[in-house]
Amino acid sequence: AKPIRVTLQYRVVLPPPAPTTAPAMTSAPATASAPATPPVKYRTGKIGPLMVAKIKDHSYVWVHSWQPLAVGELGEDFYDKLAAEFRNRDVLKVDADKVAAFTLAVADAKMSFGKSGDKWSLTDDRHVKIDADKVKEFLKALDFKAASFVDYADKPDLKRFGLDAPAIAFQTTGPDGKTAQLSVSRTGPVGSDGRYATGGKAPGVFVLDKDAVKKLQKELKDFQK
């Protein structure tokens, strides 16, 4: 694989200063207070530029300017994860004018819509009045970007991320019959409001932030006149 040139910025916590010794007291103070917690201080710096390459099952890293040259060996996933950070984070951008049909499944509710001319209808019940402006507004807002990547395989283990039975499934179909899909899990990384997702033009599994997920959390009433 082609070497990657990167500069790393780091931040480390500085050790707290040594406590000062309080002068001896002849009598106990009237009140005792907890010692103040010193603020955390950091030291920042940069290392690089580093060269990172992948050969078979290992990643190798070195500083090109160092003499003699020292090379470190790491697992292959180091190169893969680093390369993923340079990926295009654009996942799926919907062109509302080029969508002929779409399906949206949220939890147990599934809705399919079709377009004829400028009018939209609910595929399963054409008597339901659908507001074309609401549909267009919904589609125009769908511009998804990955907040981060968590699995870099072209065929990831979807069950590991709860994507074998997604909480949200979205698919568009163009006039030429080409489709685009996006699946979103029920949960995301620990401590994050985002959700795991897969699909669009990004390989692997990525995280969508909560605002992106909200764009798909719609009910039928959101499209009705």
In the predicted model, what is the mean pLDDT of the chain?
86
pLDDT recorded at residue 170: 98
Tokens of 4: 């990657």
pLDDT recorded at residue 40: 83
Question: If we measure between CA atoms, which residue out of 53, 79, 83, 48 comes closest to residue 64?
Answer: 48
> pTM higher than 0.85 for the full model?
no
Report long-range pairs for 26-32 (Cβ below 8 Å, ≥24 apart).
Answer: none
Q: How confident is the model at residue 113 (pLDDT cuts 50, 70, 90)?
A: very high
Question: Average pLDDT of 109-136?
Answer: 95
| Cα 219–Cα 224–Cα 225 angle in degrees, nearest 5 | 155
3-state secondary structure of 180: strand
Question: If we measure between CA atoms, which residue out of 107, 185, 105, 178 comes closest to residue 151?
Answer: 185
Tokens of 154: 């072209």
Tokens of 34: 């907890």
First to last CA, the chain: 54
Report long-range pairs for 122-126 (Cβ below 8 Å, ≥24 apart).
Answer: 122/220, 122/223
Question: Average pLDDT of 130-158?
Answer: 91
pLDDT recorded at residue 29: 58
